[in-house]
Amino acid sequence: MVAKSKIYFGTDGIRGSVGTSPITPDFMLKLGWAAGKVFASEGNGRNKILIGKDTRISGYMFEAALEAGVTAAGVDINLTGPMPTPAIAYLTRTLRAQAGIVISASHNSFQDNGIKFFSSEGTKLPNEVEFAIEQELTKDIATVTPELLGKASRITDAAGRYIEFCKSTISSTLKFNGLKIVVDCAHGSTYHIAPSVFEELGAKVIPIGVTPDGLNINKGNGSTSPERLVATVLEEKADIGIAFDGDGDRVVMVDHLGNIVDGDEILYVIARDRRRQNVDFGGVVGTSMSNLGLELALDALDVPFVRTAVGDRHVMQGMLERGWDLGGESSGHIICLDITTTGDGIVSALQALAAIANCEQPLADLRSKMRKLPQSMVNVPLDNNFDLVANKAVQSAVSDVESKLGKNGRVLLRPSGTEPLVRVMVEGEDMDIVSKLAQELSDIVATEVGSPS
């Protein structure tokens, strides 16, 4: 039996350049209708879908198109306005909606946009539901009779609801009084949420990246561009810096010395604190790109660790299969499954801050207990038909590099999911050796695929 392949849905919803198919108003109209048809068949009585968005300018256009499509299918809509992606997952559950829709391209620039869906449980849609929506997309739109049209209403207290949820994820006895925190919201959907969360917990907050204009989301700010955060932390002599991406599901931190603390290190800080408190969280799920230093540091704590393919969907699947509560990626997409159903930047930051408070040690000290190993990555153009696994010269070269690195090193050849190239990554204890081996290995890969190095 040949497996079905999806036309529009990728690993994280539907995403692309605004104005280029399928990120167009006419497609969004039909997508809203198709989703409405699918979810209208799943519930009893009046069904509703929650719609939120980030701060990019095209969100207004796509919100209107989706609203028209969903209501044409006879499904009600609750509109939240700009809200973090994990907030929509949370509100979809608590408001008992059939589904949640987020209009966002996450950490991309404003020229892109996309659609993410959440199930009624606040999780990503199962494949069969995405297939069902794509099946409806092949049909012509048929509007329900006027008396059955959906209605749209705006949730005016969505931000307040989510702020209270975030605060509830740490102990009510914890207060961050005396802590000076720089909070970078990437001019994205956390701009009116994150500063309030930390302020209401007692911290002195210096907000940056909180003036979205529709065009500046992720521009020079946020988790993908933390340089401004580093500079502000040092200038303000702050204790900690926290940066989110445009839709609020990723977080990176900065310690008081100006060191960037990535997702691997944040995962370690949270896992170590839970281990110290004898909290049973099973183990930690990372990805093929997670730093080997994380694996070694967790092993020293006797915490199990496994790797999955890159992508939060794969991390989540790995966690569910094992019944584990903690997982994430180097990029700062961290999932605390015992707290919420998806990656949440604010919740993850609060877990790290709670660990700092519990240990009564600064972030700089906690991150130093995990030693990140140097990584070197070289991109090599790759024909999609070239089989790296079957190539004897490449596999022999990989084995040779692995033997030189020993147990505290590793090699990864990862074909890009978006570009015709392979990422040659070497990780080990010495940066000079790692860089040299990565270049040698990439030269062999390039020779075998017939590309000049």
- Quick one: tokens of 294? 């994380």
Report the distance separating Cα 429 and Cα 156, nearest Å: 53
Residue 212 phi, psi (nearest 5): -65, 140
CA dihedral for 124, 128, 129, 132, sign (positive or negative): positive
Report the distance separating Cα 312 and Cα 327, nearest Å: 9
Contact 289/310 with Cβ under 8 angstroms? Answer: yes
What is the number of other CB atoms lying within 10 angstroms of the CB of residue 250? 28
Reference 195, options 225, 230, 159; nearest CA is: 159
Report the distance separating Cα 197 and Cα 344, nearest Å: 13
Reference 90, options 428, 352, 345; nearest CA is: 345
Residue 435 among the catalytic residues: no
Q: What amino acid occupies position 403?
A: S
Report the distance separating Cα 203 and Cα 170, nearest Å: 14
Contact 102/86 with Cβ under 8 angstroms? Answer: no
Reference 190, options 325, 42, 77, 344; nearest CA is: 344
Contact 424/410 with Cβ under 8 angstroms? Answer: no
Contact 55/214 with Cβ under 8 angstroms? Answer: yes
What is the number of other CB atoms lying within 10 angstroms of the CB of residue 137? 18
Which residues are CB-contacts of 279 (< 8 A; sequence separation ≥ 6)?
A: none
3-class secondary structure, 207: strand
Of the residues 106, 196, 348, 376, which is catalytic? 106
DSSP string over 259-291: -EE-HHHHHHHHHHHHHHTT-----EEEETTS-
- Quick one: tokens of 44? 């009893």
Catalytic residues: 106
